[in-house]
């Protein structure tokens, strides 16, 4: 039996890490690069991890500048920011087979259904990466902590491919949880992302600085409770104990610069549509207002507008 072919679209902090883990597990992994392509061709992909070194040498990496040059894939890992989802038509269309599992390793809520409808796919997977990982230089990823991934699928026909992908990850020593209802999994990830990505970006502070201020801990908990209430409108029940667990884990983790804060510092557009706007609208549709989340979102919109105007 031939090896399963994996394609990684977006070889940054997330795609590079999980792609490297799959490569070291013996899988046939192909990586799409943008600005880092020439650096990786010459130097390989460097992944420093608290679990050990998962680097791939220049001679051993399958690196590409164009997805049209890549082989068709059994699994496509999309690790782009959701702000780049308008590029997916050109990026993943050449890689699709009738049974390809597209796995969105992205933040926020609502993307799986959009991609399934746009590409007329019977199923689309989603992955929630509970990981502290940053791209610190071209072709260089620093994995600081954690690494567990929760995966689910939109479309009942995708359960078997999802379970097969879970086995692939487990075989590479990646902790995996399967949550068949991807909406449930995404709400649970938003429980952390909404307060900590947003507050860290507005305040230009890491997680340890936020947790060192009791007023911000209280605000974070209030925002998490708004997310919990909004999730209930889509039949997703999040136990209050999970809020306390997440706050406790955040207090214990190493100081972490969230992905959105790094986007702000690097002048990149912020992921607001799927992480904030969609969640607020889903809550409102179910009769739940999210005043503190909305206030945070509005501040982020102001910051984002300045970033976009500077880039343009």
Q: Which of 188, 189, 277, 285 is catalytic?
A: 189
Distance from C-alpha of 85 to C-alpha of 118, rounded to nearest angstrom: 11
Distances (CA, A) of 98 to 58, 66, 83, 95: 32, 21, 27, 10
> Taking Cα atoms as reference points, which of 91, 165, 90 lies closest to residue 124?
165
Tokens of 298: 């509005």
Compute the residue count for the chain.
Answer: 312
Distances (CA, A) of 27 to 61, 79, 80, 152, 166: 12, 18, 21, 21, 14
> Taking Cα atoms as reference points, which of 207, 232, 312, 233 lies closest to residue 269?
312
Examine the residue annotation and report whether 135 is marked as an active-site residue of this protein. no
First to last CA, the chain: 50
Distance from C-alpha of 227 to C-alpha of 241, rounded to nearest angstrom: 14
Catalytic residues, which ones?
A: 189
């Amino acid at each position: 039996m031939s090896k399963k072919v994996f394609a990684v679209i977006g070889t940054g902090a997330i795609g590079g890490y999980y792609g490297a883990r799959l490569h070291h597990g013996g899988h046939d992994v192909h990586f799409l690069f943008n600005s880092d392509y020439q650096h990786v061709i010459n130097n390989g992909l460097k992944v420093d991890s608290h679990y050990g070194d998962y680097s791939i040498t220049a001679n051993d990496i399958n690196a590409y500048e164009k997805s049209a040059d890549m082989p068709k894939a059994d699994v496509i890992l999309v690790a782009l920011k959701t702000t780049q989802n308008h590029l997916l038509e050109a990026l993943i269309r050449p890689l699709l087979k009738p049974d390809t599992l597209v796995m969105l390793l992205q933040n926020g809520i609502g993307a799986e259904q959009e991609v399934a409808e746009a590409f007329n796919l019977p199923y689309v997977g989603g992955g929630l990466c509970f990981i502290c990982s940053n791209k610190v230089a071209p072709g260089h990823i620093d994995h600081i902590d954690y690494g567990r991934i929760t995966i689910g699928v939109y479309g009942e026909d995708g359960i078997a491919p999802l379970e097969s992908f879970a086995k692939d990850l487990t075989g590479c020593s990646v902790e995996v949880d399967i949550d068949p209802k991807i909406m449930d999994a995404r709400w649970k990830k938003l429980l952390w992302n909404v307060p900590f990505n947003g507050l860290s970006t507005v305040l230009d502070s890491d997680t340890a600085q936020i947790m060192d201020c009791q007023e911000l801990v209280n605000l974070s908990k209030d925002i998490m409770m708004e997310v919990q209430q909004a999730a209930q409108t889509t039949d997703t029940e999040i136990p209050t104990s999970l809020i306390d667990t997440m706050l406790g884990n955040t207090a214990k983790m190493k100081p972490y610069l969230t992905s959105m804060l790094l986007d702000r510092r690097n002048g990149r557009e912020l992921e607001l549509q799927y992480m904030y706007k969609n969640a607020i609208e889903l809550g409102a549709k179910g009769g739940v207002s999210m005043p503190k989340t909305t206030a945070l979102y509005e501040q982020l919109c102001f910051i984002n507008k300045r970033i976009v105007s500077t880039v343009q």
